[in-house]
Structure formats: structure tokens, C-alpha cells
Chain A
Amino acid sequence: MNPFEYQRVDQSQKAVNAIVRSKQAKFLAGGTNLIDLMKLEVERPAHLVDINHLPLSNIEQLPNGGLRLGALARNSDTADHPLVRKNYPLLSQAILAGASPQLRNMATNGGNLLQRTRCYYFMDIGFPQCNKRAPGSGCGAIEGFNRIHAILGASDQCIATHPSDMCVALTALEAQVRVLGPRGERMIAMKDFHRLPGNTPQMDTNLNPNELILSIDLPSSPYAAHSHYLKMRDRASYAFALVSVAAALDLNGDTIHSARIALGGVAHKPWRSEEAEAALVGKPVGPEAFAAAAEQAVQGAKTYKHNAFKVVMAKRSIVRALTVAGGRA
């Protein structure tokens, strides 16, 4: 591990001031991804600013009926919070589908958004090619072993996927990320938070390097009664998604009033499919509408040597998730 200077801060503004001082500085929250990547020497920060003692661990109702999830609230506490379980069960399910109880006890909400890809070529510095880790070096995955890689929105520079489950639910629920930078606070819509790789795969998000996540704000949701998070993976628990689906329906009797569909494990960011959602609006709940939505969701999919199965898996998973969400399972 690279040597680094360690600093603990107790106020958000002090944290931003500390990070501004060095380009090589990083915030340390739960550490479940950062410390791992530092051991692998994929991340080599010269300064760690420990933000665990900032007062950002609360989960509180917002005046507009929404819910504010503190950036430092732990994943386990967020999934277990009574208001999350009652009003955003999709989010509880997604968080609980990820990692292990130990990791969820450590991992924070803000850190979950900033998880880096599990692409083998990114995580192992023994591979010389990775445009995300070493811009301009090439992509080892495109011609390599790419079973876990993207089928949507990838580029000829990078076909990595975003590993989070939580972010897939947050995307479907249209969360906003509240951040603090040297020039004050701003909000970033969840759909704009993560980036597609394009020609700059080294940039995972649109968060500036000097910005601190303060909270994730959820709007009030009509989807609590009919939602489901489905995760497909190589073992029953404690594995990253090959494909996951956050499905939410707002029903008027048997008719779909509105829908939200986001996919995990298929793209460089949580992949919301507004085309699939549009295909459901006004349709009766049932396999025909669900299958049509699934077809829409994978339009434009591009597969590689080992991951063509993901297209079929994504379609079937969407139908399955919608079936459970619609109460028809």
C-alpha cells in the first residue's frame, strides 16, 4: 500500500478544505472499496481525509414528503430504517442484495455511489491495459474475458460495469445527490451522477474531485406498494450482479399508470430504460406488456465474446421483476 497522510475532520467544510489542498487526497468513509483498491495499488492516494465523524449519518423526512439519507449513514442502517422499509422497499431490497452484513455495516451511502468497477483488468495492476486505471493504455476486456461486462452504453475505450445494487434502486426512484464543494452546495440528479465511459472512462461520475457528498434525497414515491429488486448472480448471496432489475409500478386497478425500470450489471452506470417504462404506461398488468417492455430495454445492446447471455437474462429478469412487483408472482 502506498504511504499516505491521515487526517480526521469533524466538519463538512473542513473536509472540503482538506481535499482542495491536494490532488492526491481522497475521502475515507467506510473504506470497503477504497482500502481494498489501495491494497491492490489501483488507488494510491497521498492523503486520506477521514470523514467518518462528520454529522452526516441521519436519515430524516423532508418537508416535501421525501426522505434524506445522510451520506455517512451505513448501508445496513439505511436498509433497516422504518421509513425506507415502508416508503422505499425497493431501496431496502437493493441494499440487502449487495455485499455481506459485515460490509453493509461499514459501507456508507455516499461511498456506495462512488464504488469502482469490478472489472478484472481494472482491479489487477498486473494487466497493463486499462483505460480507466491508466488512460490511453487500451482495454483488456474487449478482447479478453468479458463475461461480467457491459452490454449497453459501452465504448471502444471501456466496457466496465458499475457494481452497485443500491444505485440501481436510487436511479429508479429518481433520487438527487446533494454535494458540497469549494463554491457551495449543488444537487445532481441520480441519472446524471454516473457517466458512460465514452472517451474518458477514467471518470466514473460527474462529482468534481473537490466535492463531498452530503446526502441522497429521495422524492416522495407512488411506488411503495408495487416494486421489486431482482438480482441475478453466480451464487445465492454475497456476489456481484450479472444482471439486476429495479422495477416499480404505479397501478390504477389493473392498468399501469406509470413505471420505473433500471438495470444493474449491464452498463457503466445504473441503466434506466425510459423506453421500457413508456412501453408499460396505459397497458394492463400482465406478461404481454412486461415482455414488450423487456424488448425495449435491451434495444441497441452490444455483446462481446462471453456476455451475450446477459441480453436474454436481462429480458427474463425484467419480466420476472415486473411480475413480482405487479403482485402476479
Chain B
Amino acid sequence: MGPSNDPQNSKNADIVNADSGNTAKGTKVPGVPERGDTSGSRCAWDVTRRDFTKTASVLTGGMVLGMPILSIRAAAEIKASASAHALPVLLNINGQKHNLSLDPRVTLLDTLREHLALTGTKKGCDHGQCGACTVLVNGRRINSCLALAVAHQGDEITTVEGLAKGDELHPVQTAFFEYDGFQCGYCTPGQICSAVGLISEVKKGSVSAVTPDLNKEGTVDLTPDEIRERMSGNICRCGAYPGIVQAVQFAYRNS
């Protein structure tokens, strides 16, 4: 078995999104080859999960609606034609300013992944139905696949790569480790960003569709039912929901 098949290590690699060039430094997991590393037992056809999730992120986009390649084509066409219609776009992502030249059609999700190599944010359905692309904008969780980058100038955008402080993981990331809140890890960056948003919403006193009394004083009791409802915008096809619910509950109590 090649080192990349070690489930524990590959989980670790994904939860801190070592597949992003920007965060790979300092988060390299022993035993997991970096991209381009052909040493060890890895053969030419040996696809790591990290490669898989990068490819799958583009492939799964249109499949929900039966159009397997539309989103790849659309993203590529827009990228190719960017110079014709490009606008200067200044984005603030994870505290860093980025001066970009973008076609106005480019979504925030494609900007992160295709223009800034911030591939922690995943493309699942590309239609606001799965939550894999969840990021925080001014502290609020949104679907970056339905947001145009050009419309988010002046906003503070936080992706999964921006949650940890150096080597210290965000409490929600730690909780996903502790409670096994994932299996394949593909939806995990979206789940984590969503959970960060959820916790700040609950602390501000927001209610949900399952809150028994909308006018009770104080914050709601964050029961498993509340967590399930509030995380319902994030689909996990592995069905890691029991761990996700526990992780969110733990992170909320410890933040």
C-alpha cells in the first residue's frame, strides 16, 4: 500500500487543505507525497485522493443536472475569453489583497480555484444545491458558486485556507478531527466554513426552522436537531452526518 492510501494521513491532509499551494507550507503531512513527487511506490496511474478531488470538483459540477461537462467548458471558455471582457477586480481574501483582471462572468468560486490556486474551496454542484463551495463573506457563509467575483470588491472573504492561525487549527477544524466529521473529505471545507458561520449566527441569537419559540429570550439551545437544520445546506454524500453534528456541537461549546 502506498503512503497516500493511509486513511488517517490523507484525512489530515484534506482537513487543512494542503492541496492549496498557499497553505501547503507548514502543513505537510509526513508520508503524504506532495504534488509532483514521483518517489516512493506511487505509479503513473496511481491517482491520489488529492488529485481525485481536484479533478472531481470540475467533473461533478454539471452531473447533478445531467450535463457532465458543461461546467468545465463554461469555466474554461470564460477563462480563455477573460482578456476580451476583463475588468480590474480587487479582492480581499484571507486578509490578502489580490489585484485581478476578470471577466464579469467569473464566479467567486472559480476565481478562488482557477485564478488564485485556493483549491480548498470545492466545486460540487455549481448551482447552490450542495454547499461544497461555502465561504465566509464579511463573516457570513455564502455559496461562492452563485456569487460573481466582480460584485464582491470591498468585502472580506475568508476561505477554508484562512481559518487556521499559522499551525494552530481553527476550533471547528479541530472538532472535525476529534469527531470524525468526514470520510472522503470533499465536502469538508464547505462543511467547516458553514459550521464557522453557523456558530457566529447562533451566538448572535439567530433562529431556525426548528427553533420551538421564535421569541424566547437569549440564544437557542443548539440541539442536534438545530445543527441538522442549520447545516442542511451542506450535503455529504459519504453520510458523515453523525460526526459532523457532534463536531459542530463540540466546537460551539468550546468557542
Tell me whether B214 and A85 are in contact (CB under 8 A).
Answer: yes
What are the interface flags for A12-42 relative to B under an 8 Å C-beta threshold, 1 for contact and 0 otherwise? 0000000000000000100110011001100
Tell me whether A101 and B87 are in contact (CB under 8 A).
Answer: no
Partner of A105 from B105, B131, B140 at Cβ < 8 Å? B140
Using CB atoms, name the residue of chain A closest to B216: A85
Max chain A Cβ within 10 angstroms of own Cβ: one of B141, B147, B197, B198: B141
**In the docked arrangement, what's the CA distance between A65 and B215, Å?**
19
Tell me whether B128 and A89 are in contact (CB under 8 A).
Answer: no
A237 at the B interface (CB under 8 A): yes
A76 at the B interface (CB under 8 A): yes
B122 at the A interface (CB under 8 A): no
Using CB atoms, name the residue of chain A closest to B194: A102
Partner of B214 from A28, A31, A92 at Cβ < 8 Å? A92
A234 at the B interface (CB under 8 A): no
B126 at the A interface (CB under 8 A): yes
Residues of A within 8 A of B128 (CB): 32, 36, 102-103
Tell me whether B233 and A100 are in contact (CB under 8 A).
Answer: yes
B151 at the A interface (CB under 8 A): yes
Stretch of B9-17, B45-53, B177-185, B224-232 with 4 or more beta carbons under 8 angstroms from chain A:
B224-232
Distance (Å) between the CB of B188 and the closest chain A CB?
Answer: 16
What are the interface flags for B227-253 relative to A under an 8 Å C-beta threshold, 1 for contact and 0 otherwise? 011101110000000000000000000
Known: A31-B146, A92-B207, A106-B146. A1 touches B215 (CB 8 A): no
Using CB atoms, name the residue of chain B closest to A48: B104
Tell me whether A36 and B146 are in contact (CB under 8 A).
Answer: yes
B80 at the A interface (CB under 8 A): no
Tell me whether A106 and B104 are in contact (CB under 8 A).
Answer: no
What are the interface flags for A66-84 relative to B under an 8 Å C-beta threshold, 1 for contact and 0 otherwise? 0000000000100110000
Known: A1-B74, A3-B85, A4-B105. A102 touches B142 (CB 8 A): yes
Distance (Å) between the CB of B108 and the closest chain A CB?
Answer: 10
Tell me whether B209 and A237 are in contact (CB under 8 A).
Answer: yes
Tell me whether A36 and B127 are in contact (CB under 8 A).
Answer: yes
Tell me whether B233 and A103 are in contact (CB under 8 A).
Answer: yes
What are the interface flags for A293-322 relative to B under an 8 Å C-beta threshold, 1 for contact and 0 otherwise? 000000000000000000000000000000
**In the docked arrangement, what's the CA distance between A31 and B145, Å?**
10
A5 at the B interface (CB under 8 A): yes
Tell me whether B151 and A52 are in contact (CB under 8 A).
Answer: yes
Residues of B within 8 A of A52 (CB): 151
Using CB atoms, name the residue of chain A closest to B102: A6
Tell me whether A50 and B127 are in contact (CB under 8 A).
Answer: no
Distance (Å) between the CB of B7 and the closest chain A CB?
Answer: 29
Tell me whether A124 and B65 are in contact (CB under 8 A).
Answer: yes
B residues 146-170 near A (Cβ < 8 Å) are 146-148, 150-151
**In the docked arrangement, what's the CA distance between A85 and B209, Å?**
12
Tell me whether B197 and A106 are in contact (CB under 8 A).
Answer: no
B55 at the A interface (CB under 8 A): no
Tell me whether A97 and B209 are in contact (CB under 8 A).
Answer: yes
B27 at the A interface (CB under 8 A): no
Using CB atoms, name the residue of chain B closest to A124: B65
Residues of A within 8 A of B103 (CB): 3
Known: A31-B151, A100-B233, A106-B142. A85 touches B215 (CB 8 A): yes
Tell me whether B146 and A237 are in contact (CB under 8 A).
Answer: no
Known: A3-B85, A6-B104. A32 touches B143 (CB 8 A): yes
Tell me whether B146 and A32 are in contact (CB under 8 A).
Answer: yes
B78 at the A interface (CB under 8 A): yes
Known: A96-B207, A103-B128. A31 touches B104 (CB 8 A): no
Residues of B within 8 A of A124 (CB): 65
Residues of A within 8 A of B214 (CB): 85, 89, 92-93
Distance (Å) between the CB of A75 and the closest chain B CB?
Answer: 12
The 3 closest A-B pairs by CB, nearest first: A100-B233, A237-B232, A6-B104
7 more A-B contacts (CB under 8 A) besides A28-B148, A100-B234?
A: A1-B105, A3-B85, A36-B146, A39-B71, A50-B151, A89-B214, A236-B232
22 contacts between A and B (CB under 8 A): A6-B87, A31-B146, A32-B146, A35-B147, A36-B127, A39-B126, A40-B65, A76-B201, A79-B207, A80-B207, A85-B215, A89-B215, A93-B214, A100-B143, A100-B232, A101-B197, A101-B230, A102-B143, A102-B233, A103-B128, A106-B146, A236-B232
Interface residues of A (CB under 8 A from B): 1, 3-6, 8, 28, 31-32, 35-36, 39-40, 48, 50, 52, 76, 79-80, 85-86, 89, 92-93, 96-97, 99-103, 105-106, 124, 236-238
Interface residues of B (CB under 8 A from A): 65, 71, 74, 78, 81, 85, 87, 103-105, 107, 126-128, 131, 134, 140-143, 146-148, 150-151, 194, 197-198, 201, 205-209, 214-215, 228-230, 232-234
